[in-house]
Amino acid sequence: MKKLLGILLALAMLASLTMPAFADEPDYTTGTPWLCIDLDGVVTADTPADLKDNFALAVNKDKILALEIPEGYSFSGTMMDVKLKQAEDLKNMFLGDAPEEHDARLAYDLFQLMMDWDSRNALGVAPLKEQIAPVEAIDSIEKLSAYFVETRDEDELASLYYAGSSQDQLDSNRHVIAVRDVGLLLGDSAEYEKLTDYGAIKKEAVTELARKMLVKLGYTEDEAQRKIDNCFAFETMLAPALYTNEEQQKPDYVEKTLNFYTRDELKAAEGPLPILEDMAAIGFPKTDRYQVTNPDGLKKLIELYTDENLPIIKDYLIIVGTLGAAGSLDRECYEWNYACNNAMSGASGMLDDATMFSSSVASALAWPVAQLYTQTYLRQEDKDRIMDMMKEILDAYHSIIEEADFLSEATREKAMEKLDTIKPRSLWPDSWDIYNCDGLDFDGPEKGGTLWEASRRIAAYNIAKSIKEFPDPVDKEKWPMPPTIVNCFYDWTTNTITILGAFAQGGFYNSDMSDEEMLAKLGVVIGHEISHGFDSTGAQFDKNGDMASWWTDEDYAAFLARNQKMVDYYNAMHPWEGQDFYGSIMTGEAGADMAGMKAVLRLAAQRENFDYDAFFRAFADLWLEKGSLQRAYVHINDVHPMSYLRINCTLQQFDEFLNCYGITEGDGMYLAPEDRVIVW
């Protein structure tokens, strides 16, 4: 009776979330201290723009007015231009003849399988029906446990927990089996307590997709709605025990996830859940060290894992599995899935199939595509030039550590050791030997292969590879991301900074750039990534990539106080009236922006006749963006500040900027020295 009451309460809460009472449409031109120029429609020809009051607007206004959001995307700007180039480059790689080399041929065949609509339409939803049938047949929790243990992972419709190999953050040279929470359909567990406007958009989108899919699978409209309601009811009961997105982005989150259990302790903690039995069935060896990232979430799941709750658990698995499969089935399902994604992102229209599927292949078979992309588009002279720039900026960073007046000599020495150990990586790995797909095979369309079967083979191969590598030391030479991704990153566990090949293109980097533009764009990004080694999360990891303190207590307290000042700074800003930012999650990225700029300004000071105006304008172009309301909502809840803040908030910290334009007290871009928030 108690469990039934819980279900009824969850359904009642769900009903209250289904039809949110929206306030009047906000006035999106009421941002403080600056207009939110990233949002499409906010900037008009009549919008006043003075670089002393709003530098991002003044420099980028004409560009913003000229920008058009491309079909199939949710934003435009410098980043999008680079992404469009990457998408076109990937597509062109698949439009020629089939390659002979094994791994490249796998990627080519997967692309052709995605493009084979005759085969996909002939299969329809039959493969998904085959996955759903055994779940529908389950009539007890005991049989559900048997399903998780006996079903191969690649055939499993969905799961209630994730368990697999991960890197041990206390000893980054070894692997550990980590047990993690499942994701939620609305993304953020906070949405289940109070549905936001963006949460309502997502909920409506996934509900519509689930309803269409279930009816196509043979359920009635009423049955489909019941399953959807049950799925959200289950998530509503589980959500209070899961970390919110804001909690996951805070610096102390990593430490909260470091809960290690012996095998006996996990056996006692898993209750009726077959986690250890499942891991054994997959093929993972027994070990005496397991990580449970959220013990409270595990306890809540065990509490819900009862025969009384079985109907809603089954419906949860069916909905999650159905939504996950929609894009891999026939054309109708694919288009429904695309419409769902567009509703959540604010994009309109569809990308052509070749563009979409070349990107999908680059995700599914990352390293075969990466090697082909590198051979086709990337140049050694750019790799060498960027590597030289990375080393120059790393060297410039020494003075930042040396001048940090909140550090004692003991902490400063450790910081210098970490800085001197950072390894730069440019564009692509120096060797491809460890990235091969030996042992993976599937048939292309000419041999009767199907996308569904190929996807199962790839999933099984990845699981088997993870199991095989589990007993070995972590290979820290292996890049965690391929060169095809438009991104750069710092890796705490390897103490490396990486500029990926697809990022160093177009408006971010090209060989014709002036020194000012090169430093303002790629140079600042390199400095940004270095800074992550010393941000509120990176500061918790030592030079070896292990989570271990290298601070004195007094120095770390001073560091946290500086971060809190930045939190307060961003909390006082609003993209529009009534909408907050979350300063508590921004300090890592915002602080890296500022420290990266500081490092590059050290180099600028050494350049003869350096054009600061050209430099600052190029920096504003780096973060030029105009996007949908949905993208704005995503950005508001992201660790990265919105693009206009990345420009204005970064620049107003520096005298070089203020002096260049004669900005003084009373100007919108002015920030008094005592109010500046740069951590390093």
Q: Is 589 a member of any domain?
A: yes
Last residue of a domain, one of 337, 368, 399: 368
Q: Is 666 a member of any domain?
A: yes
**CATH number of the domain that 423 lies in?**
3.40.390.10
Strand 290-292 and strand 488-491: the pairing is unpaired
pLDDT (tens digit per residue) in 472-527: 999 999 999 999 999 999 999 999 999 999 999 999 999 899 999 999 999 999 99
**CATH number of the domain that 234 lies in?**
1.10.1380.10
Query: pTM of the predicted model, to two decimals?
Result: 0.93
Q: Is 161 a member of any domain?
A: yes
Report the alpha-carbon distance of residue 249 to residue 638 in Å, rounded: 8
Last residue of a domain, one of 335, 368, 401: 368
pLDDT (tens digit per residue) in 135-185: 999 999 999 999 999 999 999 999 999 999 999 999 999 999 999 999 999
Q: Is 97 a member of any domain?
A: no
Report the alpha-carbon distance of residue 384 to residue 389 in Å, rounded: 9
Q: Is 446 a member of any domain?
A: no
Mean pLDDT along residues 549-570: 96
Whether 396 and 363 map to the same domain: the answer is: no
Whether 202 and 232 map to the same domain: the answer is: yes
Whether 537 and 416 map to the same domain: the answer is: yes
Residue type present at position 527: G
Residue-level pLDDT at 25:
86
Strand partners, 579: 576
Whether 322 and 401 map to the same domain: the answer is: no
Report the alpha-carbon distance of residue 360 to residue 333 in Å, rounded: 16
Whether 354 and 495 map to the same domain: the answer is: no
Closest CA to 55 of 680, 676, 653, 577: 653
Strand partners, 423: 496
Half-sphere exposure of 533 (CA within 13 A, CB side): 31
Q: Which residues contact 301 (CB under 8 A, 6 or more apart)?
A: 160, 161, 238, 241, 273
Whether 272 and 411 map to the same domain: the answer is: no
Residue-level pLDDT at 208:
98
Whether 346 and 385 map to the same domain: the answer is: no
Q: How many domains does the chain have?
A: 2
Q: Is 595 a member of any domain?
A: yes
Q: How confident is the model at residue 8 (pLDDT cuts 50, 70, 90)?
A: very low
Residue 320, token pair as written in the block: 């999650």
pLDDT (tens digit per residue) in 291-330: 999 999 999 999 999 999 999 999 999 999 999 999 999 9
Compute how many other C-beta atoms are within 10 angstroms of the C-beta atom of residue 406.
16
pLDDT (tens digit per residue) in 609-666: 999 999 999 999 999 999 999 999 999 999 999 999 999 999 999 999 999 999 999 9
Whether 265 and 385 map to the same domain: the answer is: no
Q: Is 465 a member of any domain?
A: no
For residue 22, pLDDT beyond 60 = no
Q: Which residues contact 143 (CB under 8 A, 6 or more apart)?
A: none
Whether 172 and 269 map to the same domain: the answer is: yes
Strand 423-427 and strand 496-500: the pairing is parallel
Whether 390 and 484 map to the same domain: the answer is: yes
Mean pLDDT along residues 259-286: 97
Whether 332 and 386 map to the same domain: the answer is: no
Given a contact cutoff of 8 angstroms between Cβ atoms, the answer to whether 501 and 484 are in contact is yes
DSSP string, 150-216: HS-GGG----S-EEEEEE-SSSTTSEEEEEEPPP-TTS-GGGGTS--HHHHHHHHHHHHHHHHHHHH
User: Which residue range forms the structural domain that includes residue 523?
Assistant: 378-429+479-675
Whether 392 and 258 map to the same domain: the answer is: no
DSSP string, 602-649: HHHHHSTT--HHHHHHHHHHHT-EEE-HHHHHHHHTSSSPPHHHHHHH
Q: Is 172 a member of any domain?
A: yes
Residue-level pLDDT at 96:
86
Strand segments, DSSP code E, in 438-558 are: 488-491, 496-500
Last residue of a domain, one of 346, 368, 390: 368
Residue-level pLDDT at 2:
42
Mean pLDDT of all residues belonging to the chain? 95
